[in-house]
Chains A and B, each alone.
Chain A
Amino acid sequence: MNTDTLVFYDFFTQLRKQTDLQLDMDQYTLFLELFARGYAWGDKEQLRRLCSTLWLARPQYRDIFDREFDRAFEKWIATTPAPQPEIPAKANKKPETTENQTELTTPQGKKEPEQPPPAPPPVSPPSTPESSRMAAVYLELSDVDAEEEQGQAGNADGGSILEHAFILTNHFLPVKERRLQQNWRYLRFKAEKKPGTEIDIGATVERVAREGGFIDFEYEPRIEYKRVFHFLIDHEGSMVAFEAMAQQIVNAFRSSLVNTQVHTWYFHNYPGEVLFENPFHTAAIDTASWRARLRKNPAALFIISDAGAARGGEQFERILATYDWLEATRRYAPQTLWLNPVPRSRWPGSSAVYIASFIPMVDISKSGIAMLPELLKRL
């Protein structure tokens, strides 16, 4: 199949690549069929809404979605061949377009809608010149970045932080402590089932029926939530700005889960042969012994690091070292997640994008944090 001619197929695959929306062909086919029947021919925004209703399962990808949609739409306009004479008349006139839709949705629908051409002409305003369009997208992205930066503990530019004397508080972090606690609670996985004290009536009756008489009660199993978590925190350098945030995350974790052991370890840039027990580097453990501990006492792992996104640039030494380290650790701790304090929109063009391709990585935002329980469960 030549996918080049499929409407918005590129857009669909870009969404699949850049997000973890778990889109499958069924969802693309749905779109194609609706589109072929004339749905959302009204204008660009209607088309955007259709794609969003069908594909955008997680609102946190709205930025990526909009950016890729605009790109795809522009490309589509540019590559759509000149329309057939009779089609524009049908599609360009608003009332008739509406009629076409009504036809679609009325139950009587005696006649099937006409087969549209493979790529119906868009009715939206003509595309803006390339340069101004790019500028608009650029401005849009800058706005988003500016807003997101407002939520960070400080400017990602390390120099300016040291120039100004101010107190780092956790009041301006992108995720409130209360929300963190609320989300951490969902990480209470059922670890162990023990006989409980509450009678399971259904099971008891079933047992009576099975054994022909009452012998003993069946009890609801009591579920224990004991778990061990290790936090590996990148600190110093570009992470200075995010240290308060990392601390807040660990604190929220400690205070919201009972029966849970939380260990914190520190490293700089990427985890290596040694992990430090405290930020002052006064005590350390070599990674081999640490992995041995994991083998004895299985745990879930959270790595808090910008993965190079704060400074930008692709450092292949860092990417490869991180890859090797994670591969070596994976067999001891399959449940490993990466929390990146730098917003997702800033990852492109940095090592973070590469690292995110071999370990689940979320940004520390309301939506990113909300994804953790589900991600952890998938591993």
Chain B
Amino acid sequence: MSLIKEKNYKRYEGAALQSYNKELKLEAYFPSEELKEAVELARFLQRPLLLRGQPGCGKTRLAEALAVELYGDEYKKHYKPWYIKSSTKAREGLYIFDHLKRLRDVNMQKENVDLKTYRKLGKLGEAFEVSTAEKPAVLLIDEIDKADLDFPNDLLRELDENRFSIPETGELDVQAEYPPIIIITSNDEKELPGAFLRRCIFHYIEFPGESLLLQIAQAKIAATFEKELPEEALKKLIERFKKLHDDMDKHANADLPPSTSAMLDWVSMIAQQVSTGKMTFTKDHDLKDWEDTLPFPGLLLKSLDDYRFGTKKNS
């Protein structure tokens, strides 16, 4: 094993997206210390980082935030997101060959056509193509558990050796000059094969504590609204949200505790209502007329059981 070989290596500190980036239109992202450490290990060991955590906890956004930190305005050149669907095949990530176009050209008796014009690289292929030791690409394989059970195993060789072949064009060795930084996310709906897991390193994104939630909410409101919510009032909203989340998390009858992203929608909705004067705060920084009832429960409670649970407790 070697030291990190990336040239111009700099540690991911999560500094680039501490607030809304107007030019790139990207919202703030606050990684925990543990997550930064896991990213460093993944780069050090050149192994995919498998991220898990509840839906909406910020798994998918890490890769983009990392790319922005490394490459700033030019991050799109180096950031390759591959969003997996239930029908996604491993080969689609490498390349797609346009058979129909080729058939048409054959029928039109076009000659001397370069076969490479019929193939288009997939996201994994693109990441291999652009990744260098100076500027390693950042590849996101999002929600890998959505695909067929065999999908992760079909990628083993490519992820191990950072190379693949395209038999249709005779390209037998498409190889990455330097391995891309690979971030894989999973919602744990399905177990992943052991052979795949042993090639990865792992991190579970825990639900953020109140201070981090407050930071996230402040950044969101600052980016969306001209006028910010008073800090004390926002603190109370976050406390309320966190309590609901924790109650639901502990309670067996609750289905899906609200996520961080649901919290952002909820706080934004309240901020919007406050900015238009439809809601106000009391002297104690509570929402006037909403002290005992949960406002906009539909934004936080996503199933009928949860709705009953969340609204009953507060009414």
A residues sitting closer than 8 Å to B (CB atoms) are 20-24, 26-27, 30, 33-34, 46, 49-50, 52-54, 56-59, 104-107, 109, 147, 150-151, 171-174, 176, 178-179, 182-183, 186, 201-202, 204-206, 208, 366-367, 370-375, 377
Contact = CB atoms under 8 A, between A and B. Distances in A.
Nearest to A374: B191
Nearest to A102: B11
B252 A151 contact: yes
A183 B38 contact: no
A-B CB proximity, top 4 nearest: A22-B194, A374-B191, A57-B197, A205-B99
Contacts of B149: 186, 373-374, 377
A58 to B, nearest CB: 7
B5 A201 contact: no
Using C-beta atoms within 8 Å of the partner chain, give the interface range for chain B.
35 or more
A374 B6 contact: no
B252 to A, nearest CB: 4
Given A24-B198, A373-B191, 18 more contacts: A20-B194, A22-B194, A27-B198, A34-B45, A53-B41, A54-B41, A57-B198, A104-B44, A105-B44, A106-B9, A107-B9, A171-B253, A172-B252, A201-B103, A205-B103, A371-B191, A374-B191, A374-B193
B102 A205 contact: yes
Nearest to A174: B252
A54 B201 contact: yes
Contact of B190 (A57, A172, A176, A186): A186
Q: Please indicate which of the listed interface residues B44, B201, B203, B303 has the most CB atoms of chain A within 10 Å of its own CB.
A: B201
Contacts of A30: 1, 45
B190 A370 contact: yes
Main secondary structure of the interface of A (DSSP, over half): helix
B278 interface: no
Contacts of A204: 99
B8 interface: yes
Contacts of A22: 194-195, 197-198
B136 to A, nearest CB: 12
Contacts of A202: 97, 99
B4 A105 contact: yes
Nearest to B5: A107
27 contacts: A30-B45, A34-B41, A49-B37, A53-B37, A53-B203, A57-B50, A57-B198, A58-B191, A59-B188, A105-B3, A105-B4, A107-B4, A107-B6, A109-B3, A147-B250, A171-B253, A173-B252, A182-B189, A183-B190, A205-B99, A208-B103, A370-B190, A372-B191, A373-B149, A373-B191, A374-B190, A374-B194
Contacts of B22: none
A205 B41 CA distance: 46
Contacts of B41: 34, 50, 53-54
B100 A205 contact: yes
Nearest to A40: B37
A151 B50 CA distance: 28
A374 B194 CA distance: 9
A52 B100 CA distance: 48
Nearest to A106: B9
Contacts of B40: 105
Interface string B174-200: 000000000000001111111101101
B99 A201 contact: yes
Contacts of B7: 107
B151 interface: no
Contacts of B203: 53
Given A53-B202, A107-B3, A178-B255, A367 B9 contact: no
A349 B274 CA distance: 58
A208 B107 CA distance: 11
A178 B188 contact: no
A39 B1 CA distance: 13
Contacts of B305: 171, 176
A365 B192 CA distance: 17
Nearest to B38: A53
A372 B190 CA distance: 8
B188 A367 contact: yes
Contact of B8 (A56, A107, A179, A366): A107
A50 B252 CA distance: 32
A294 B127 CA distance: 49
Contacts of A372: 191
A39 B191 CA distance: 30
B52 interface: yes
Nearest to B40: A105
Contacts of B8: 107
